[in-house]
Each structure stands twice: as structure tokens, then as C-alpha cells.
Chain A
Amino acid sequence: MTVSRFIQRLFAHNIPLFIVNGLLWGMFHSIPLLLGLGMQWFFDRATSQSHNYLWLAVPLIFIALVRISRVGVFFWAFFKWVTYIYDIQAILRTNMLKGIMRWPGRNLPASPGEAVSRFREDVDEVVEYVESWVDFWGRFAFAVISLVIMARINWQITLVAILPLLAVTLLNNLSGNRARRYGQQNREATGRITSFIAESFGAVQALKLGQAEDHVHQRFTQLNESRRQAALKDNLFKQWMRSLNQHVLSICTGIILLMCASAMEAGRFTVGDFALFTSYLSNIAFSISLFGYMVFQHKRLKVSLDRMSILFRPGEQDRIMQFSETHLYGEPPEPPVIQKDPKERLQTLEIKGLSYSYPNSENGITDVSFAMERGKFVVITGRIGSGKSTLVRAMLGLLPTSDGSVHWNGKEVDPAAFLIPPRAAYTPQVPRLFSDSLRENIIQGSPPSEDKLARAIHLAVMEKDIEDLEKGLDTFVGPRGVMLSGGQIQRAATARMMMTESDLFIFDDLSSALDVETEKQLWERLFEERDVTCIAVSHRRAALAQADHIIVMKDGRIESEGTLSNLLATSTEMQLLWKGEASAVEEADGSLITAN
């Protein structure tokens, strides 16, 4: 999308607010017209022969009244403008967040901390440009009207006043590339800072234990320094352009003054006219430099637009300005309750020829196919890096697969959009909780139902933990759930998944942080439920023994599949994994290391 198209659609998004702003600021900026006229009025009276005090005072009082009413207009206009600022921020951020949420999983083009700078700095850049547009109409009206007034007094002089407009526009147009380059460098430097802060605090425990505070501080100082340089360069260029605009205008003002002088000599020009001209000229000069600056901003906005667009999936970039409800002026409605569609009830699930490879890496999965039916328990196993988690994530549409398809009841579906509750739910290998209460983390905004919640907690074997927690379900779990233990996080995430009452549950190595007994209890409770369909990534015997079907992954491909007894008889890889699980230490001989 071009900047012009973008900005048009932005205005169109809340056109009444844009117009109100334009009108009010137009009023605010045109009021100085009256001040100029008032001063002309005053000085003309002062130079005339009649010297009545009151008669002279009238224009001055008029000016005072105009000034004070301008403050009133300012308040009103400012209120509308501040509203507009947040309106713009809200629509852009809403669309950006929605856009990000359409990406497959964690394959985002920016780190979360860096993305924050796009939500902040780049959105602010747009606001700044819109501010110029809001000011534009009033300043434009002022410039045109004052030019007309001036032209009626002396048209030659007025003509000279228009010339700088052309020069300034041309000048700013030429600066486009450099403006963009400096702007981009500045933004990138800022992105590195926000990303670094987020990453540091996300890994704060590791940094503390590693005594890395000083090293982190040092690196931060370096990043700050390069941002300072980028920001200075960016700002210097901005100021320089503004200053060039001013130079053009100063020269013109000088010429105009000279023309005025000769006109005054010829008696065609009064001191009052001169007061009006000087009063208007500085204002016109300011307006013209604003117009020039807007050309500059327009060129520069491309940087921010590109940076924001990158958060959208390829082909979706135009959705940055799609119409979205922002719910700024009233409480947003509760999210819709998920309804089960009986027609979509799981009968069979088929994966056909799924392939994905990580960028810049040989890892991934190649041509994986399998099928399962309702009520079955499928376990995916394999050694580290064999592609187990990749398979699950690719299947769920959390990774952009290069090939393959997913079929639900025989019909091909888009996994990212379809394999979500109430059809399928998933617990990642390292689940993330969010800094809310434990209850909120489990129910995730679904309508409160204590029965459902109790059932989910029971299935996740979490009731005792909740009893032990000081505030029970209302315990604040901290960012990423740090207030809970690893096992508690994993089971809270399981409860979150159970809460969705989906047809298909997918566990990615759910049991890895649980002790043997808790894990056993969990599987037992799960299989007490009727009609449960599960896919679990696991290398634990507890899971393998319960499986209806086992898929053994090796180097991103299905090495073998079948029932446990079958596989133990035929697959060496399975034997290795099964034996290894029994006594890992005894197997720790050199041959395995080289085999890997």
C-alpha cells in the first residue's frame, strides 16, 4: 500500500472526527486573520488625524476579545485532537495485533520486544503526520485568505510571497530518500533497544545466576549509544530541512519588505498595511514551511508504514487499514461464546504429506502422513530433534508448512483456523501462562462455570496444588507463570486445554515436568472420561503403554508406526527409545554419541 492510499484510508476510518478536527483547528488557525485586520485597523486609526482615545481603543479591545475566544476554541479543538490521537492509535494497534495473531505460531518476523516498538514509535509517527494534516486545512485557509487580503492591497508583493511555496515543495521532495534512510535507521535502533529490554527481563533469572548484569548493562550502553547517533542524525536532517525552508522564506520576506518600502514611498502603502503584512507574512511563512515539512513527512512515513506492514502475513499488508471496531468509546462486548457444531464432530483425522523445514536449518519434517479415529490415543515419539514437536505444530498450522494437508472427517481444512476449540486444543511443550490470576489463565475469558472449571482442574490433577496456594485460584501467577513450579505451569496449561472441552486434545510432552505418580494419575483420569481423542508427544512409558497407535519419528520422517508390541518387535529405534527409558545410564556408551 502506498503512503497516500494508507493515509486516505486512515482519514476515511473516522471521517467525522477528522472533519471536526479540521474545522476546529481551521478556526483556531484562522483567528489570527482577525488579529492582523485588528492591528491594521488600529494603526490606520492611529495614523489618521482624529485622536479620540476611545475611538483608538476599540480595535485593541476587539483584539483582546479575539485572543481570549481563541483560547476557548483551543480547548475544544484540543479535546477533539487528543481523542483523535487515541482513535488512530487504537485502529492501528487493533489491526496490527489482529494481523500478528494470524501468523502461524511463533514464526513472527519480529521479536515480541521489537514488535512493541512498532506498536509505539511507528504508530506515533503516523499520529504526527495526521497532526500536520489536521493543522493543514486551517493553515491553508489562513494562507489563501491572507493572500487574497494582501493581494487586494498590493498584488505584486503578494505574488512574490507565493514563490517560496514552490521552492520549498521542490526542496522537500528531493530530500525523500535520505529522510527515509535516516528515519529507518533511527527506528531500527529503537527496536533493538525495546527488544533488548524485553529479552533481558524475560531471561532475568538466567542473567542473575550468570552474574551477567554488568555485561548486559554494557551491551545496553552500546545499543543506547548507537540509537543516540541514529536519532541525532535523523533529527539533524529534519531540522536542516526545516531550516532550509525557513531560509527560502526569509529571503522572500526580505524582498517583500523592500517592495513594501518602495510602495510606501510611492504612497500606495500605509503603515497599517505594513503592520498587516508583517503580521500575515510570518504566519504564511510558517504555513508554507509546514506544507514543505508535510512533503518530507509523507516521504518518511513510508518507513513506518513498511515497519508496521511487516507484522502482517505476506499478501495481507493492506489489512493494516481494514475497518475494525476499536471499542474506544464504550465497554467492549464480551468475546463470543464458542458453540459446538454437531456436524463438525470429529470422526476421522488425516494428515497427508506434511512437510516443513526451519529456515537456515536442516531440521524439520518431510512428507509425514498418518490417520486416526475418534476415541483413539496416538503417541508420537522419537529422540531429541527428530521432529516430534515440529510435526504437532505443523499439523496445527502453527508453522507455515511447505507441503501437505490436514483432513477432518475427510474434508480438507485450514488447520490454523480450524484446529482450534471446540474442535481441537493444544498444550505446547513449554506452555506459557500470562500475568493474571490462575483462574483467568485457565478459563481465558470463557463464561464462568464452576462445574466446568472443577472438572478441568480435576483432569489436570491440580486440585491439591490449588488448595495449597495461598490464594487458591486467585493467585497471581506472574509473567509466564513464574510464581508456579514447572509442573504446576504444565498442569495449569492442561487445565486450560481441558476447559475448552474440545473433540481432540493434543499434548506436546505434557508429562516432562511431572513426577511419575502425578503423570500416571493424569492419564488415568483422562481415560476415565468417555470418548476422549488424544495425540501426545512423549517418550515416557506411561504414555507409550496406553497408546492405541505409536508413531516413531526419526530425522523428520516417520521411521515406523504401529502398536507398541509390534514396534518393539520390528523397530530398532523404538527398541532403543524403550530400553533407554528403562535405564538411560547403562546405555550411555560412546556408540550412541557418535550415532547422534
Chain B
Amino acid sequence: MQQPKQPSMSWLLRYLRPVKGRLLILLILLLASTGAQLVNPQIVQRFIDTAVDNGVVSSLLVLAGIYLIFAVFNQVLTVAISYLGNDVSWRATNQLRGDLLKHCLRLDMRFHNMKTPGEMIERIDGDVTNMSNFFAMFIIKVIGSFVLLAGILSFMFTMNWPIATVMTVFTLASIGAMVFIRDLGVKSSKDERGASAALFGFIEERIAGIEDVQANGNVPYVMNRFHRAMRTVFLKGRKAWMLRVIPWNTTVVLFAIAVTVVLLLGVHYYLTKQITLGTLFLIYQYTQMLNDPIEQLGDQVQEFQKAKSGMMRSQELLANRSEIVEGNETTLPDGALGLEFDHVNFSYNPDKPVLHDITFSVRPGERLGIIGRTGSGKSSLSRVLLRLYNINSGVIRVGGTDIQELKLEALYRRVGMVTQDVQLFDGSLRDNLTLFDGSISDDYILETTGGLGLKQWIDSLPEGLDTHLKAGGASLSAGEAQLFALTRVFLTQPSLVILDEPSSRLDAATEAMLQSAVDQLMMKCTGIVIAHRLSTLEQVDHIMVLGDGKILELGEREVLAKDPSSHYAQLLITGREEDLA
């Protein structure tokens, strides 16, 4: 089996292009080592012949010395090959890992809503690691094995062509058999990878949500689910392993037959005095040597099956296209940006409309407050505005430009959002704030956090911005996390900002403190404030009331507040009633 002919496998080859220099050196080293392996039996043959002929001890010593030198040389080569092969493999697979990560990050939220972080570990790291041997050694070893096979066979041809012919036929038959059944274990290997991704996805998710598991007494249930997932991995894994070794075993059987036939022939020639005993031994040695490259190829077929299953999974991942198609427009007007929704319809699923014919506009610098009960479509509105999802019909314009025609980068550079769900990750405070953007200076971070009243909090941390935040922000209270998310958005100096329930987890005193900071920072931009709490809306110019995905009411806040029949006024009353209760 040479390079697999399918275009699918050749896709992997492009990851080898950047390391082709190293690959070449690797190939040369491998050929050198192959050569050394071919020479070794020659020495032994001389040795036997000399010994049988009662040769002098000194010449035997020389031969033994040469044997030793070759052995040492071979070992050095082995180490070098292993090192270089590993290097090539890491470089190529890291490239692939990086591509996969980048591609997946760019996929839309519909994709991410289906994948657990643990599963992504398996898909980006696990599957690729499964392919690493393919990158490092597959081509090299396949070529190396062929060279070795060819070398051994041609040596045999110089000695005795009928024997060599028989050997060649069997070798080709073995290779043919391997090529023929090479895909045997691919499908089950893929299933195995899938089961393993599910297992690690499960483990990661439950560890991340450990409090929810423990405090609700669900540990036995989690263990039960774990046992089931592990059992699936076991059953699928065992099947995949067994199927993958079949090609290797087939060659071993074929090879056993080949060696027997060749030696039987050799005996015939020996009896008819056409070859010496030394040559017969040499033939035996060479048949033994053929074993190595053929087993090597069998091994590689095993690796090939693993790699192919990993590759299919990676390709599936890369074949996922984001539904969000970027436009080409890169510029938006300077300063605060206006916003316009023009007959926008949106649904997550075709038959459940979430936003229904939404039309409104916000002038640059204005603030719009959106209220509505849970599930009224408030959050969806912000999600479509940020192109986390595509709308079904209508147009959304930011700064007068249809967002579908904008490059995502241009949109996000100017539009920021503080979400309900504050996402923090295991890393330093700085990384969490800047999202790994090295170009944001510490001074600027401190200035912004100072403006939000977080300075004291940062000062109280032992290592300041370098303090390590634990996963999920375990060391932060939810209120602190919310402040944090605000800082993150304001660091990017947005021209349009969406605050989605910014005060939901703050107590009143802290919220009050925050409000002035937010006001100050929102001075220069247009603001959309989504909130359940009426108090947070007192600074907005317009109010929109949403219900079941429709605009129930839209107008200036003061006008609505004075109109007793308006929803807003009604809500104000409910709020007050609650205050009085």
C-alpha cells in the first residue's frame, strides 16, 4: 500500500508541506538505517563461512568489530529517526489542532449549542493525537519498508532468481491483501472515537457542574451514567481494536507460507549443490528480515485505520459551515452608531417564531430600554443583532449598514454586549479581561476598571492582574462576575452597547454604584438596555415592551410613564405594589 489514493487522505498531506525539509532528512536517515540493516546479515554470512572454514581469529575479530560498529550506528540512527519523526508529527498535528480550533470557534452558536467542552477536547486534541503516528511515520515507514523490501528482494535476485521470484510474488500478495482490507476497522474506529468523546464530554461537564451534582444528591446517578458511557467505550473500542489487527494477522499467515515455500526451494537447490550452506543460511536470514518491513506495513495499516477514522471526524468538523455568512463592508461611521430593525422575523426552529415583524430604530447616542417577561424574545433580539443567529427575513442596520453586508470583525469591533451568562475561564485576570489580546496595556485596563469601581477589588488580589481565576470564576461571586463582564466590554470602547440584564445579580447598593459608572461609559455610545428591573431603566430615552416576540409598545419613556393605559405604566404600578407589600 503506497499513498492511499482517495482524495480524502491526501487532504492530510497539506499539513506535511510546511515540514517537507524535515521529512526529507527523515527519509534519508531511514534509508541509511535500511542500508545498515541490509549489510548486517552479510557480515554474519562471512562470519559463518569464515568460521566453518576454520578462518583465522583475527579476521573473525574484524568482522565482529564491523558488526558492532553497524549496531551502534543503527542505534544512533534509530534515536535520530524517532526524534525527527516525532518532531514532524507534532508540528503537523499542532497545525491541524490550531486549524480545527480556529474553525470551530468561527462556527455559529447553533453548532456550539450542541457540543460540550469535553467533547471538543476529544475532537480537537484526542482525534488528532490518534492521527499523529500517521503524520510522523506513515509515509516514511511505508516508503522505508518498500525500499527495504526491494533491497532484500534484489539481493535475493542476485543469489537465486527462482527463490527471489517466489518471495516477490508472496510479498506482493501480502501487500495486496493489506490494501484490500485496509478499511476494515475504519468505521468501528470512528465509533470508538465518538464514544470516547461522549465519555470525556460527560466527565468534563459533570466536573464543571459539581456543585449542582453534589447538592442535589445526584452522585449515584452521575456514576451510573458514567458506567454506561464507559461500557459503550469498552464495547466499541474492543470491536475496533479486533478489526484493526486483522490485516496484520493476514500478512503474518501469508508470510509464514512464503518462508516455508522459499526454504523448501532453498533446500532443493542446496541438495542439488547449486548453493552453499552459508547461502542457505543467508536466504533464511533474508526471509527473516522480510518479516520486519511486512509487519511494519501491517502496523501502518493499523495506524492508517485509526488515522482515517480520526481524519473523517476532523473533516466532518471542518465541513461544518457557519450559517453566518460575512459581508465585505468594513467601515462604519465614526462615533455612536444608530440601530434599525426593519420587519425582522426570527425563529430558532421553523415553526416557533421568536421575533415577529419587529420594526424600530434608535438614533446615535440614544438609549433604548427593552422590557418583557421571560421568553418574550429580548435576549433573542440581542443575539440576532450580533449575528449569533441569522434572521429569517427583514433587515437589521447598524450605522445605516445592513449587518449582513458587514464583515463580522467590523461589527464586533464596534458593538459590544454584556450577556446574562458571564463566561469566565481558567486563566489570569488579564486574559479574562482582554480575551488574550496582548495589545491592550495594563494601564488601560486599570483605568477602565477604576472607572467601574473595581480598582479596590483588583488591588486586594494578591497578584493583581496576574491573579489566576479558577474555571467558571469559582473564586468570584456572581455579582463580581457581572462587573467583570462589563469591564470586558468597555475595554473594547464600543459605539453601540447591549446590556442584557446587567444588574440581574447585583444587590441594590452595588448596582447603584455601578449605574453611574455605566452612565459615564455609555456617554459616547448608543445603548440598548435589556432588563427585568424597572429601576435600571430610569436613564433610558425610549422604552420598548416585548411580549411573545412582538412589540407591544414603543415610545418615549416619559410619555409612556404618564399614560396610565401603557404597559410600562402598568409595570411601574406592579413594581410599586411589590414595594409596598
A199-B426 CB under 8 A given contacts A64-B260, A89-B230, A112-B471: yes
On whether the beta carbons of B426 and A106 are closer than 8 Å, the reply is: no
Contact for A235 among B82, B375, B413, CB less than 8 A:
B82
A contact residues around B535 at 8 Å (CB): 582-585
A contact residues around B212 at 8 Å (CB): 428, 431-432, 493
On whether the beta carbons of B253 and A71 are closer than 8 Å, the reply is: yes
On whether the beta carbons of B112 and A596 are closer than 8 Å, the reply is: no
Instruction: Tell me the residues in window 396-426 of chain A with beta carbons closer than 8 Å to chain B beta carbons.
Output: 396, 398, 416, 419-422, 424-426
Would you give the 0/1 interface string for B424-454, flagging 1 where the beta carbon is closer than 8 Å to chain A?
A: 1111000100111110000000000000010
B270 at interface by CB-CB < 8 Å: yes
Instruction: Tell me the residues in window 18-75 of chain A with beta carbons closer than 8 Å to chain B beta carbons.
Output: 39, 42-43, 46-47, 51, 53, 56-57, 60-61, 63-64, 67-68, 70-71, 74-75
- Closest residue to B132 on the A side, CB-wise? A231
B-contacting 9-mer, from A5-13, A140-148, A248-256, A347-355: A248-256
On whether the beta carbons of A228 and B94 are closer than 8 Å, the reply is: yes
A-contacting 9-mer, from B114-122, B142-150, B310-318, B356-364: B114-122
Contact for A112 among B204, B249, B533, CB less than 8 A:
B204
B343 at interface by CB-CB < 8 Å: no
B184 at interface by CB-CB < 8 Å: no
A247 at interface by CB-CB < 8 Å: yes
Instruction: Tell me the residues in window 102-137 of chain B with beta carbons closer than 8 Å to chain A beta carbons.
Output: 102, 104-106, 109, 112-118, 120-121, 124-126
A588-B512 CB under 8 A given contacts A194-B121, A198-B117, A278-B44: yes
A541 at interface by CB-CB < 8 Å: yes
On whether the beta carbons of B268 and A384 are closer than 8 Å, the reply is: no
On whether the beta carbons of A74 and B210 are closer than 8 Å, the reply is: no
B contact residues around A576 at 8 Å (CB): 509
Contact for B478 among A64, A111, A328, A430, CB less than 8 A:
A430
A370 at interface by CB-CB < 8 Å: no
Instruction: Tell me the residues in window 467-519 of chain B with beta carbons closer than 8 Å to chain A beta carbons.
Output: 467, 470-472, 474-475, 477-480, 483, 485, 488, 492, 501, 503-513, 515-516
On whether the beta carbons of A94 and B117 are closer than 8 Å, the reply is: no
Give chain A nearest CB distance to B522 CB in angstroms: 14
Whole-angstrom CA separation of A232 from B80 in the bound complex:
12
A232-B87 CB under 8 A given contacts A445-B221, A584-B536: yes
On whether the beta carbons of A577 and B91 are closer than 8 Å, the reply is: no
A219 at interface by CB-CB < 8 Å: yes
On whether the beta carbons of A211 and B412 are closer than 8 Å, the reply is: yes
Contact for A63 among B203, B230, B260, CB less than 8 A:
B260
B contact residues around A480 at 8 Å (CB): 205, 208-209, 421
Give chain B nearest CB distance to A390 CB in angstroms: 8
A361 at interface by CB-CB < 8 Å: yes
B contact residues around A493 at 8 Å (CB): 212
B405 at interface by CB-CB < 8 Å: no
Interface size on B, residues (CB 8 A): 181
B3 at interface by CB-CB < 8 Å: no
Interface-central residue, B57, B106, B217, B257, by most chain A CB under 10 Å: B217
- Closest residue to A334 on the B side, CB-wise? B224
B321 at interface by CB-CB < 8 Å: no
On whether the beta carbons of A115 and B207 are closer than 8 Å, the reply is: yes
On whether the beta carbons of A541 and B579 are closer than 8 Å, the reply is: yes
B-contacting 9-mer, from A174-182, A260-268, A297-305, A449-457: A260-268
B contact residues around A332 at 8 Å (CB): 224, 227-228, 231
B contact residues around A593 at 8 Å (CB): 453, 513, 516
B277 at interface by CB-CB < 8 Å: yes
Instruction: Tell me the residues in window 471-497 of chain A with beta carbons closer than 8 Å to chain B beta carbons.
Output: 476, 478-480, 482-483, 485-488, 493, 496-497
B233 at interface by CB-CB < 8 Å: yes
On whether the beta carbons of B223 and A98 are closer than 8 Å, the reply is: yes
B158 at interface by CB-CB < 8 Å: no
On whether the beta carbons of A210 and B242 are closer than 8 Å, the reply is: no
A contact residues around B76 at 8 Å (CB): 243
On whether the beta carbons of B574 and A517 are closer than 8 Å, the reply is: yes
On whether the beta carbons of B388 and A208 are closer than 8 Å, the reply is: yes
On whether the beta carbons of A212 and B109 are closer than 8 Å, the reply is: no
B contact residues around A61 at 8 Å (CB): 260
On whether the beta carbons of B436 and A215 are closer than 8 Å, the reply is: yes
Contact for B386 among A119, A120, A209, A416, CB less than 8 A:
A209
Instruction: Tell me the residues in window 315-337 of chain A with beta carbons closer than 8 Å to chain B beta carbons.
Output: 326-328, 331-336
Would you give the 0/1 interface string for A490-527, flagging 1 where the beta carbon is closer than 8 Å to chain B?
A: 00010011001000001001001111111010000000
A205-B214 CB under 8 A given contacts A217-B102, A232-B86, A545-B581: no
Whole-angstrom CA separation of A9 from B292 in the bound complex:
37
Contact for B217 among A420, A478, A485, CB less than 8 A:
A420
B263 at interface by CB-CB < 8 Å: yes
A429 at interface by CB-CB < 8 Å: yes
B contact residues around A90 at 8 Å (CB): 230, 234
B contact residues around A335 at 8 Å (CB): 220-221, 223-224
Whole-angstrom CA separation of A579 from B242 in the bound complex:
71
B-contacting 9-mer, from A77-85, A128-136, A153-161, A165-173: A77-85
On whether the beta carbons of A513 and B504 are closer than 8 Å, the reply is: yes
Contact for B97 among A108, A195, A220, A429, CB less than 8 A:
A220
Would you give the 0/1 interface string for B188-211, flagging 1 where the beta carbon is closer than 8 Å to chain A?
A: 000000000000110111111111
Whole-angstrom CA separation of A506 from B211 in the bound complex:
13
A560 at interface by CB-CB < 8 Å: no
On whether the beta carbons of B578 and A541 are closer than 8 Å, the reply is: yes
Would you give the 0/1 interface string for A265-302, flagging 1 where the beta carbon is closer than 8 Å to chain B?
A: 10000010011001000000000000000000000000
B contact residues around A163 at 8 Å (CB): none
Would you give the 0/1 interface string for A189-206, flagging 1 where the beta carbon is closer than 8 Å to chain B?
A: 000011101111111111
On whether the beta carbons of A71 and B252 are closer than 8 Å, the reply is: yes
On whether the beta carbons of A203 and B424 are closer than 8 Å, the reply is: yes
A contact residues around B375 at 8 Å (CB): 464-465, 468, 485, 487-488
A-contacting 9-mer, from B25-33, B45-53, B325-333, B551-559: B45-53
B contact residues around A373 at 8 Å (CB): none
A contact residues around B562 at 8 Å (CB): none
On whether the beta carbons of A513 and B117 are closer than 8 Å, the reply is: no
Interface-central residue, A70, A103, A232, by most chain B CB under 10 Å: A232
On whether the beta carbons of A393 and B231 are closer than 8 Å, the reply is: no
Contact for A486 among B52, B124, B373, B501, CB less than 8 A:
B501
Whole-angstrom CA separation of A203 from B349 in the bound complex:
24
On whether the beta carbons of B120 and A86 are closer than 8 Å, the reply is: no
Give chain A nearest CB distance to B549 CB in angstroms: 10
On whether the beta carbons of A218 and B436 are closer than 8 Å, the reply is: yes
Whole-angstrom CA separation of A467 from B503 in the bound complex:
29
B529 at interface by CB-CB < 8 Å: no
On whether the beta carbons of B238 and A217 are closer than 8 Å, the reply is: no
- Closest residue to A545 on the B side, CB-wise? B581
On whether the beta carbons of B474 and A106 are closer than 8 Å, the reply is: yes
A-contacting 9-mer, from B8-16, B65-73, B169-177: B65-73
B24 at interface by CB-CB < 8 Å: no
Whole-angstrom CA separation of A6 from B560 in the bound complex:
73
Whole-angstrom CA separation of A516 from B536 in the bound complex:
13
On whether the beta carbons of A199 and B102 are closer than 8 Å, the reply is: no
A contact residues around B101 at 8 Å (CB): 197, 200, 216-217, 220
Give chain B nearest CB distance to A272 CB in angstroms: 10
Whole-angstrom CA separation of A244 from B413 in the bound complex:
57
Whole-angstrom CA separation of A403 from B76 in the bound complex:
61
On whether the beta carbons of A199 and B427 are closer than 8 Å, the reply is: yes
Give chain A nearest CB distance to B180 CB in angstroms: 18
Given contacts A193-B125, A209-B412, 18 further A-B pairs with CB under 8 A are A60-B267, A82-B237, A94-B226, A101-B214, A105-B210, A116-B118, A116-B204, A195-B426, A202-B425, A210-B435, A213-B102, A213-B105, A243-B79, A250-B75, A264-B51, A332-B228, A362-B460, A486-B501
23 A–B contacts from the bound complex (CB under 8 Å): A63-B260, A64-B260, A67-B256, A71-B252, A86-B230, A198-B117, A198-B204, A203-B425, A206-B488, A217-B101, A243-B78, A254-B68, A258-B60, A258-B61, A398-B211, A426-B216, A429-B477, A432-B208, A444-B221, A486-B501, A513-B420, A579-B508, A588-B516
